[in-house]
Amino acid sequence: MASIKRYRYRAYPTKGQAHALSCLYGCCRFVYNRFVAVRETMFKVGGRMPTFTQLARDLTQSKNDPDTSWLKTVSAVPLQQSLRHARTAYDNYFAWKKGDRKGPEVGKPTFKTRRGTQSAEFTLNSRFKLEHEPGCKWAFLTLPKVGRVKLRWTRDLPTVPKTVTVIRRPCGRYEASFTTITTSRITPKALHAEAGVDIGLLSLGVVRRSDGTCEAIENPRFLKNSERRLRHLDRELARKRKGSRNYEKARTRRARAYQKVKDTRLDYLTKTARRLIDENQAIALETLSITGLAKTRLGKSVLDAGWGTLIRLVTQMGREAGRDIRRISRWYASTQTCCVCHVKDKPKPLNIREWDCPNCGARLDRDANAAVNIMLAAGLAESLNACGGDVNRKLAMPAATSTPMKQEPSETIPLH
Ligand SMILES: [Zn+2]
pLDDT, one tens digit per residue, over 212-227 is: 788 889 999 999 999 9
Kindly provide the b/e burial profile for residues 140-179, where b requires at least 16 CB atoms within 10 angstroms of the residue's own CB.
bbebbebeebbbebeeebeeebebbbbbbbbbebbbbbbb
For residue 268, being part of any structural domain is answered with yes
Residues 117 and 257 in one domain: no
Residues 148 and 289 in one domain: no
For residue 336, being part of any structural domain is answered with yes
376 Cα–ligand 1 center, Å: 15
343 Cα–ligand 1 center, Å: 6
Higher pLDDT, 129 or 288: 129
- What pLDDT sits at residue 1? 59
- pLDDT higher than 90, residue 82: yes
Higher pLDDT, 317 or 352: 317
Cβ count near 380 (within 10 Å): 24
- pLDDT higher than 90, residue 77: yes
Cβ count near 242 (within 10 Å): 9
pLDDT band at 383 (very low <50, low <70, confident <90, very high): low
For residue 204, which of 309, 334, 293 has the smallest C-alpha distance?
309
The yes-or-no answer on residue 263 being catalytic is no
Higher pLDDT, 108 or 391: 108
Residues 176 and 264 in one domain: no
Q: What's the domain count of the chain? A: 2
Of 121, 198, 279, 365, which is the active-site residue? 198
Cross-strand pairs, 209: 195
How far is the CA of 208 from the CAs of 24, 27, 395, in angstroms?
51, 52, 7
Residues 217 and 294 in one domain: yes
Residues 69 and 119 in one domain: yes
Contact between residue 392 and residue 371 where contact means Cβ atoms under 8 Å apart:
no
Contact between residue 389 and residue 340 where contact means Cβ atoms under 8 Å apart:
yes
Residue that terminates a domain, selected from 183, 200, 215: 183
Residue 26 amino acid letter: G
- pLDDT higher than 60, residue 416: no
- What pLDDT sits at residue 389? 55
CA 227 to chain centre: 22
Cβ count near 372 (within 10 Å): 33
Model pLDDT for residues 128-165, shown as the tens digit of each residue = 999 999 989 999 999 999 999 999 999 999 889 999 99
Residues 94 and 9 in one domain: yes
For residue 397, which of 374, 360, 377, 367 has the smallest C-alpha distance?
367
Residue 326, domain extent: 192-402
Calculate what percentage of the chain has a pLDDT beyond 70: 91
Least confident of 79-83, 102-106, 400-404: 400-404
Of 194, 304, 365, 367, which is the active-site residue? 367
- What pLDDT sits at residue 403? 38
- pLDDT higher than 50, residue 34: yes
Residue 370 amino acid letter: A
Residues 202 and 81 in one domain: no
370 Cα–ligand 1 center, Å: 13
pLDDT band at 272 (very low <50, low <70, confident <90, very high): very high
Residues 10 and 159 in one domain: yes
3-state secondary structure at position 190:
coil
Q: What is the mean pLDDT of the chain?
A: 86
For residue 165, being part of any structural domain is answered with yes
Residues 23 and 172 in one domain: yes
Contact between residue 360 and residue 338 where contact means Cβ atoms under 8 Å apart:
yes
Residues 137 and 235 in one domain: no
Residue that terminates a domain, selected from 123, 149, 183: 183
362 Cα–ligand 1 center, Å: 6
* Cα 94–Cα 266–Cα 311 angle in degrees, nearest 5: 55
The yes-or-no answer on residue 198 being catalytic is yes
Contact between residue 404 and residue 366 where contact means Cβ atoms under 8 Å apart:
no
Please give the Cα distance from 397 to 415 (Å, whole number). 9
- Going by C-beta distance under 8 Å and a sequence separation of 6 or more, which residues neighbour residue 57? none
For residue 412, being part of any structural domain is answered with no
Residues 37 and 171 in one domain: yes
335 Cα–ligand 1 center, Å: 12
Model pLDDT for residues 153-208, shown as the tens digit of each residue = 999 998 899 999 999 999 999 999 999 987 766 778 888 888 888 888 888 888 88
Contact between residue 167 and residue 117 where contact means Cβ atoms under 8 Å apart:
yes
340 Cα–ligand 1 center, Å: 5
Contact between residue 404 and residue 240 where contact means Cβ atoms under 8 Å apart:
no
324 Cα–ligand 1 center, Å: 28
For residue 290, being part of any structural domain is answered with yes
For residue 132, being part of any structural domain is answered with yes
Contact between residue 211 and residue 205 where contact means Cβ atoms under 8 Å apart:
no
Signed CA dihedral, 262, 264, 269, 270: sign only: positive
Please report, to the nearest 10 degrees, the dihedral formed by the alpha carbons of residues 17, 18, 19, 24 taken in order.
Answer: 90
Query: Which stretches of 217-244 are DSSP H helices?
Result: 222-225, 227-239
For residue 301, being part of any structural domain is answered with yes
207 Cα–ligand 1 center, Å: 21
CA 186 to chain centre: 23
Cross-strand pairs, 126: none
Cross-strand pairs, 216: 206
- pLDDT higher than 80, residue 271: yes
Which of 76-85, 277-286, 357-366 has the largest mean confidence? 76-85
- pLDDT higher than 50, residue 400: no
pLDDT band at 70 (very low <50, low <70, confident <90, very high): very high
368 Cα–ligand 1 center, Å: 14
Residue that terminates a domain, selected from 127, 154, 183: 183
Cross-strand pairs, 224: none
Residue 324 amino acid letter: D
For residue 154, being part of any structural domain is answered with yes
The yes-or-no answer on residue 367 being catalytic is yes
Residues 105 and 135 in one domain: yes
3-state secondary structure at position 204:
coil
- What pLDDT sits at residue 349? 78
Contact between residue 406 and residue 216 where contact means Cβ atoms under 8 Å apart:
no
pLDDT band at 413 (very low <50, low <70, confident <90, very high): very low
Of 121, 286, 304, 365, which is the active-site residue? 286
> What average pLDDT does this structure show over 124-130?
93
- What pLDDT sits at residue 397? 67
Contact between residue 141 and residue 176 where contact means Cβ atoms under 8 Å apart:
yes
Q: Name the E strands within 124-212.
A: 129-131, 138-143, 147-152, 163-168, 174-183, 192-199, 205-209
91 Cα–ligand 1 center, Å: 49
- pLDDT higher than 50, residue 296: yes
Cβ count near 63 (within 10 Å): 14
